[in-house]
């Protein structure tokens, strides 16, 4: 006996201190460890969502930029002996439908104060957010106002990458043949090569 307590009583007191009133005690730092684990899991979830969103946006961008089949590419005389290549509004609308769906894009046509030019506001919904790009055109030689609206849509679409490659002077040679990268098949190979360098082959 020490200080009026038996060895059994002292052992019982220490055992209760370790157990706590309701059973085995939990180390004081266990709560902090659980909080840190929860915070780590939360951050990992957010990073995963950000990666998925980034992949979604990258996928939409790549699909928009994909060259059109050569049969859909039109041309008209440019300066000198050059040809200007372009696509029509139907090709643009089909590309939008195919990539984001018909419910996820819309247009607004605005006539300028002078009445000689129209603006097209093209809005595309990506990852729940509406993104708007605007461009315009004056009356064309073909169907005047209708032609201006179609061209304004095509020009607004280039801000999303649709048909933008047609402005590249190296997209077609002097014989009007497209470069390999300016074809759907060549573009697909180029994208695949970026994702897997072991698949890389020279692309002209």
β-pair partners for 2: 5
Q: What is the pLDDT of residue 14?
A: 46
Q: What is the pLDDT of residue 52?
A: 52
β-pair partners for 130: 125
Q: Which residue has the tokens 């950000």?
A: 50
Q: What is the pLDDT of residue 45?
A: 65
Q: What is the pLDDT of residue 113?
A: 79
Nearest to 131 by CA among 94, 104, 101: 104
Contacts of 26 (CB under 8 A, 6+ apart): none
Q: What is the pLDDT of residue 144?
A: 56
Cα 9 → chain centroid: 71
Q: Which residue has the tokens 């009583």?
A: 9
Region(s) of the chain under CATH 3.30.160: 75-167
Show the low-confidence residues of the chain (pLDDT under 50): 2, 10, 13-14, 18, 142, 200, 202-204
Q: What tokens does 29 get? A: 């730092």
The CATH fold of domain 75-167: Double Stranded RNA Binding Domain (3.30.160)
Q: What is the pTM of this model?
A: 0.68
Kindly list the distances between the CA atom of residue 152 and the CA atoms of 122, 170, 172, in Å, as whole numbers in the listed order: 9, 24, 23
- Residue 146 and residue 132: Cα distance in Å, rounded? 22
Contacts of 164 (CB under 8 A, 6+ apart): 65, 158
**Total residues belonging to the chain:** 204
Q: What is the pLDDT of residue 49?
A: 55
Q: Are 138 and 116 in contact (CB under 8 A)?
A: yes
């Amino acid at each position: 006996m020490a200080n009026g307590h038996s060895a059994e009583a002292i052992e019982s007191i220490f055992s209760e201190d370790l157990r706590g009133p309701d059973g085995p005690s939990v180390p004081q730092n266990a709560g902090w460890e659980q909080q840190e684990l929860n915070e780590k899991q939360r951050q990992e979830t957010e990073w995963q969502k950000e990666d998925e969103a980034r992949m979604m946006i990258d996928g939409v961008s790549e699909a928009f930029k994909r060259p059109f089949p050569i049969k859909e590419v039109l041309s008209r005389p440019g300066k000198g002996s050059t040809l200007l290549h372009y696509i029509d509004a139907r090709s643009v609308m089909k590309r939008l439908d195919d990539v984001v769906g018909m419910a996820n894009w819309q247009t607004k046509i605005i006539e300028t104060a002078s009445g000689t030019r129209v603006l097209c506001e093209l809005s595309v919904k990506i990852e729940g957010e509406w993104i708007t790009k605007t461009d315009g055109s004056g009356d064309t030689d073909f169907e005047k106002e209708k032609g201006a609206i179609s061209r304004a849509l095509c020009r607004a679409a280039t801000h999303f990458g649709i048909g933008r490659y047609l402005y590249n002077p190296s997209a077609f040679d002097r014989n009007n043949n497209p470069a390999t990268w300016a074809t759907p098949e060549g573009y697909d190979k180029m994208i695949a090569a970026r994702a897997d360098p072991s698949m890389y082959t020279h692309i002209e």
